[in-house]
Amino acid sequence: MTAFSELFGEFDRRVLPNHMTDADILRLRHEAFALDLGAQDHAGFDNDEDHFVYVAKGAAKLVAYLSASREQIVAFGFPGEIIHVPGGGQRNFSLIALEPSELLVIPANSLLAASGQDCALLRLAIEQTMLALGRSRKNAIMLGTRSARERLAGFLLDMFERGSRPDDPPETIHLPMSRNEIADSLGLTIETVSRQFSEMRNLGLIETSGRSLVTILDWEGLAHAAGQMPVAA
């Protein structure tokens, strides 16, 4: 069993709906390809077309480049998630691995091409695109309305939801991205992020160990700091 077969098999089990026809699965198998990236490698695939990227192992960031210094991280991808990578539109997007990663790349056209009569692949594509839209809007709301404290607290809670691994100690998470990358995703500077870490440490909300291990000590306090919306109608 090749590496690709294993990878595609995992994708099939975890993402593809059960009722897919063999023809659809075979076509997808033919169009998709595996990508093994080292830390900071950027995924190089045909930039004219949209792609869906399934993250099997590791972690990745989708970056939009602006001026030389400032860049914005549009999305993170963790194992089991799918990132939508736009093709050559107006802006320059890149998918970059945060740590050694195994990815399965699926050209969007292979999902959009006519597929059987129940259009299972199209349905998969639209479902993933809508998920991406929801995440992007949530992100935009965060960037438009929240303070630095709220952003980092929300970020940490989000990372705990998405990034907990079987081998991590409970309540503890390994952040695969640097402070700089956290800053670029929250629309802040690295110094502000660092200061927020320190203050939240001093408040007894979290504990850190090394550069990337974070333990949540006070879940309620952290949720409060993230500025949860009251459940009013």
Partner DNA sequence: CGAGTCCTTGAAGGTGTTCAAATTACGTGG
Partner DNA sequence: CCACGTAATTTGAACACCTTCAAGGACTCG
Which residues lie near its own copies (CB under 8 A)? Answer: 50, 64, 66-67, 70-72, 74, 84, 86, 89-91, 112, 114-115, 117-119, 122-123, 125-126, 129-130, 132-134, 136-141, 143-145, 186-187, 227, 229-230
For residue 195, state whether it binds DNA (rule: CB under 7 A). Answer: yes
Backbone φ, ψ for residue 225 (5° rounding): -60, -30
Q: Which is nearer to DNA, 5 or 228 (CB)?
A: 228
For residue 210, state whether it binds DNA (rule: CB under 7 A). Answer: yes
Pick from 15, 16, 122, 148: which binds DNA (CB under 7 A)? 148
Return the structure tokens found at 22. 């063999």
Three-state SS at 137 = helix
For residue 47, state whether it binds DNA (rule: CB under 7 A). Answer: no
Compute the distance between CA of residue 142 and CA of residue 151 in angstroms, rounded to an integer: 7
Cβ-contact 104, 28 below 8 angstroms: no
Residues in the chain: 233
Q: Which is nearer to DNA, 34 or 183 (CB)?
A: 183
Return the structure tokens found at 150. 């709220």
Return the structure tokens found at 74. 């549009």
For residue 188, state whether it binds DNA (rule: CB under 7 A). Answer: yes
Q: How far is the CB of 62 from DNA (least distance, A)?
A: 19
Residue 177: CB atoms within 10 Å? 19
Q: Which is nearer to its own copies, 144 or 210 (CB)?
A: 144
